[in-house]
Chain A
Amino acid sequence: MNPQTIREGYNFAYLDEQTKRMIRRALLKAVAIPGYQVPFGGREMPMPYGWGTGGMQVTAAVIGENDCLKVIDQGADDTTNAVSIRAFFRDLTGVRTTEKTEEATLIQTRHRIPEKPLQAGQVLVYQVPIPEPLRFIEPSEVETRKMHALEDYGVMHIKLYEDIAQFGHIATAYAYPVLVNGRYVMDPSPIPKFDNPKMDNSPALQLFGAGREKRIYAIPPYTDVKSLDFEDHPFEVQRWEQCCAICGSDESFLDEVIMDDQGAHEFICSDTDYCRERMANLEVTA
């Protein structure tokens, strides 16, 4: 083990080895049944529920001393929660951390998938608040598990139908439900639907951890992931008329920044690493 730094009195990556093994078993099952929510004995973590305890437990279960970890929140490496979680793992594993997508072997994320395409061998760990895509139609867990078991998914399209009837188009912009491997309807966590196509046939392993709800699910590499839609209202990702005010990108997901009290705003890349690299390249070519 990396002898340099790990907080005294704690096991590598905080969790004890028994717990890690339990989580790994759940992960194996999740990978074997893509999109199926595997219940697991989630533990209390030293962060509040809803702040990424599920993702952290998954990361803690799979991280090894040779890993290189990247943590993002809203696409950015410098948001407070990402900083906090990165510091936690640096403290308790001593592994290398990075902000560069291509350098990372393990990426823990909240609400985004990096703009740069992921590679085979990389693992993306999602923090998931509500793993159940049917939850907002059917609050009861007993009923939703049955609906999954029986592939009783008609209600998912009711939501989309109502959107179109009311607003003229599908009005779900994030946590947009997907069908995984032609079988399970899955909540991709609150990533913008902009990121949905990146999940489809990704060479990377995608793991999802929901701490409070105690569920783990997964998309193995090269798995079909289809966003639900209608033939005459096909799934579409959002586009901006503006470009990033920093790097000028017109194809990344943009965050709105308010400039003054009159509500004047600009747009900047949500993926800070992508934006930084573009700027670096522009400087080189300039």
Chain B
Amino acid sequence: MNREPILQVDNLTKLYAAGKGCEAVSFDLYPGEVLGIVGESGSGKSTLLNCLSVRLAPDEGDIHYLTRADEWVNLYGLSESRQRHLQRTEWGIVHQHPRDGLRMGVSAGANIGERLMATGERHYGNLRQTAQSWMNDVELDIARIDDKPTTYSGGMQQRLQIARNLVTHPRLVFMDEPTGGLDVSVQARLLDLLRQLVTEMNLAVVIVTHDLAVARLLAQRLIVMRHGRVVETGLTDQVLDDPQHAYTQLLVSSVLTS
């Protein structure tokens, strides 16, 4: 594995009020690494994710990102047009609610093809083929390529959202509770799929979840947050099997006993 990080977060702070938001968060993320951010709701996970994915300007701190062209950029120093460009080429964002990440009014094929068209693909046949191959990869019936996401189940919508994000072969994907609203059986299959894609595509992922089982399955490393601050970090197995901080212990034990 390349030992140069892809993302360097330094003292990132975004506070709405004391203890609300995220405060003084620093970490490095390496290519192909899946980093889980865990904590209960209100702990600042989503605020952190929004700051990382350039959707919410932080009050303090810097985020540096190594682009595909091997250039270090300060994300909040970039123009909005470069930020958007990164978002739709090198990154993916998978929202908890597929509605937030899909165009509900256009077909599945168009949803998958949008990023390709935005980056200059002008061949309908190719777009079609790519969309079909991605539907295959995420286990969607390709016969439904012209159906709108509104006619899909929640699990199918989430698969479509994943395909739509991965179609441009991003290097870095942000996921916000990607299995959040789904049935347990659907969740398990989606997690399998995510794990497989992440490995195959060597994706760097920042995944926010309150579900430690999801974190254990996907993430190699964890950040535990509480009241906007990082209380513990480490390799996933280490953190979950031998939690050091009292809060992490509480979090882990509450899952085990439940």
Interface residues of A (CB under 8 A from B): 146, 149-155, 157-158, 161-162, 164-166, 229-233
What are the residues of chain B within 8 A of A232 when measuring CB–CB? 123-125
Whole-angstrom distance between the Cβ of B132 and the nearest chain A Cβ: 12
Q: Determine the distance from Cα of A150 to Cα of B124 in the docked complex, in whole angstroms.
A: 24
Stretch in B104-112, B197-205, B245-253 with 4+ CB within 8 Å of A: B104-112
Residues B124 and A152 in contact, CB atoms below 8 Å apart: no
Grouping DSSP codes into helix (H, G, I), strand (E, B) and loop, the B interface class, with mixed when no group exceeds half, is helix
Residues A161 and B84 in contact, CB atoms below 8 Å apart: no
Tell me whether A166 and B146 are in contact in the complex, defined as CB-CB below 8 angstroms, given that A150-B80, A232-B125 are known contacts: yes
Q: Which of B103, B107, B109, B122 makes the CB contact (< 8 A) with A231?
A: B122
Residue of B nearest to A230 (CB): B124
Residues A161 and B124 in contact, CB atoms below 8 Å apart: yes
Residues B110 and A154 in contact, CB atoms below 8 Å apart: no
Residue of B nearest to A149 (CB): B81
Q: Which of A154, A164, A166, A231 makes the CB contact (< 8 A) with B114?
A: A154
What are the residues of chain B within 8 A of A154 when measuring CB–CB? 88, 114-115, 117-119
Check B127 for interface membership: any CB of A closer than 8 A: yes
Q: Which of B84, B103, B107, B113 makes the CB contact (< 8 A) with A152?
A: B84
Whole-angstrom distance between the Cβ of B165 and the nearest chain A Cβ: 14
What are the residues of chain B within 8 A of A151 when measuring CB–CB? 81
Whole-angstrom distance between the Cβ of B121 and the nearest chain A Cβ: 8
Report the 4 A-B pairs with minimum CB-CB distance, sorted nearest first.
A154-B118, A157-B117, A230-B124, A150-B81
What are the residues of chain A within 8 A of B110 when measuring CB–CB? 158, 161-162, 165
Q: Report B80-116 residues with CB < 8 Å from chain A CB.
A: 80-81, 84, 88, 103, 106-107, 109-110, 113-115
Residues B80 and A161 in contact, CB atoms below 8 Å apart: no
Whole-angstrom distance between the Cβ of B49 and the nearest chain A Cβ: 22
What are the residues of chain B within 8 A of A233 when measuring CB–CB? 124
What are the residues of chain A within 8 A of B127 when measuring CB–CB? 161
Whole-angstrom distance between the Cβ of A171 and the nearest chain B Cβ: 13
Residues of B within 8 A of A (CB-CB), count: 23
Whole-angstrom distance between the Cβ of B166 and the nearest chain A Cβ: 16
Residues A165 and B107 in contact, CB atoms below 8 Å apart: yes
Residue of B nearest to A165 (CB): B146
Whole-angstrom distance between the Cβ of B34 and the nearest chain A Cβ: 28
Tell me whether A150 and B84 are in contact in the complex, defined as CB-CB below 8 angstroms, given that A165-B109, A232-B124 are known contacts: yes
What are the residues of chain B within 8 A of A157 when measuring CB–CB? 117, 122
Residues B114 and A155 in contact, CB atoms below 8 Å apart: yes
Interface code B65-84, partner A: CB below 8 Å = 1, 0 otherwise? 00000000000000011001
Tell me whether A161 and B113 are in contact in the complex, defined as CB-CB below 8 angstroms, given that A150-B80, A152-B84, A153-B118 are known contacts: yes
What are the residues of chain A within 8 A of B103 when measuring CB–CB? 158
Residues A158 and B117 in contact, CB atoms below 8 Å apart: yes
Residue of A nearest to B148 (CB): A162
What are the residues of chain A within 8 A of B109 when measuring CB–CB? 161, 165
Whole-angstrom distance between the Cβ of A164 and the nearest chain B Cβ: 6
Q: Which of B88, B115, B117 makes the CB contact (< 8 A) with A161?
A: B117
Q: Which of B114, B123, B125 makes the CB contact (< 8 A) with A158?
A: B114
What are the residues of chain A within 8 A of B115 when measuring CB–CB? 154
Q: Determine the distance from Cα of A232 to Cα of B129 in the docked complex, in whole angstroms.
A: 13
Residue of A nearest to B103 (CB): A158
Residues A162 and B125 in contact, CB atoms below 8 Å apart: no
What are the residues of chain A within 8 A of B123 when measuring CB–CB? 230-232
Tell me whether A152 and B117 are in contact in the complex, defined as CB-CB below 8 angstroms, given that A161-B127, A165-B107, A232-B125 are known contacts: no
Residue of A153, A165, A229 with most chain B CB atoms under a 10 A cut-off: A165
Given A158-B114, A161-B109, A165-B128, 7 further pairs, Cβ under 8 A: A154-B118, A155-B118, A162-B107, A162-B110, A165-B146, A166-B146, A232-B125
Q: Determine the distance from Cα of A165 to Cα of B109 in the docked complex, in whole angstroms.
A: 9
Q: Report B236-251 residues with CB < 8 Å from chain A CB.
A: none
A sample of 16 inter-chain contacts (CB < 8 A) reads A150-B81, A151-B81, A153-B118, A154-B88, A155-B114, A157-B122, A158-B103, A158-B110, A158-B114, A158-B117, A161-B110, A161-B117, A162-B110, A165-B107, A230-B123, A232-B123
Q: Determine the distance from Cα of A151 to Cα of B81 in the docked complex, in whole angstroms.
A: 8
What are the residues of chain A within 8 A of B128 when measuring CB–CB? 165
Whole-angstrom distance between the Cβ of A166 and the nearest chain B Cβ: 7
What are the residues of chain B within 8 A of A152 when measuring CB–CB? 84, 118
Q: Determine the distance from Cα of A228 to Cα of B226 in the docked complex, in whole angstroms.
A: 51
What are the residues of chain B within 8 A of A146 when measuring CB–CB? 80
